Amino acid sequence: MLGKKKKSASVKRKPKKRSVPLGRTLSTQDNYLGRSKTGSTKERPVVVIETNKRNDLAVVPLSSRNGKHRTRLKKYQDGRSYFKHFVEIEDDEGKPIRVGRKFRENHKNQDVSAEDVELIRYKVLYHSSPAPKNLQKMKKFQKQKKSPRLNHSGHCQCYAGRCSDGCCRMPIFSITDFICLSTPF
């Protein structure tokens, strides 16, 4: 036992999760966007308009052609690009959009400006014919983002002990007394 050295345990560190900045473009194929069955495998850029803590992305497809439900981006690629008026939050399998095999991050010099991202959000969510569906998708996306305020023991800080968010363990009052202080009023 005297001449043996102890091996030090190597510490495996998890890579830091970094969020994708708003305006970053991703490359993907048409058949990976949403649940539509286009059958097209054309490579298409999409722009990130919203992210959440789990690195899920809400994206809007870009196009090089003018057409129905499209608006020109004046400051991106010298005004030769258009964005479609559709928000996508899920891939073709119904999973949240994340950077990976299906969605590859482009270089930062291909980013869309913050001003153009605001234009995209405004047009897509409020001033287009598919705006009501886009708003529903964004509400669903933002619900995924929300997490309850927790106390030191890891339970929700709600008044009644059980709330409509389903984050509490046991009901204290009747089922009709659902008041949760973890959600904004």
- The pLDDT assigned to 174 comes to 42
Instruction: Give the whole-angstrom CA distance, residue 98 versus residue 100.
Output: 6
The 10s digit of each residue's pLDDT in 144-178 is: 644 455 555 555 555 444 555 555 544 444 444 44
Give the Cα separation of 50 and 48 in Å (integer): 6
Structure-model confidence comparison of residues 115 and 170, the more confident one: 115
The pLDDT confidence band at residue 105, using thresholds 50, 70 and 90, is: very high
The answer to whether 164 and 180 are in contact (CB under 8 A) is yes
- What integer best gives the mean pLDDT of the chain? 78
Q: How confident is the model at residue 34, as a pLDDT?
A: 77
The sign of the torsion formed by the CA atoms of 142, 137, 70, 60 equals positive
Average pLDDT over residues 94-112: 92
**E strands, 52-143, in order:** 57-63, 70-73, 81-84, 104-105
42: helix, strand or coil: coil
Which range is least confidently modeled, 2-6, 92-96, 170-174? 170-174
Residues of the chain with pLDDT > 70: what percent? Answer: 65
* Per-residue model confidence (pLDDT) at position 82: 94
Please compute Rg for the chain using Cα positions. 22
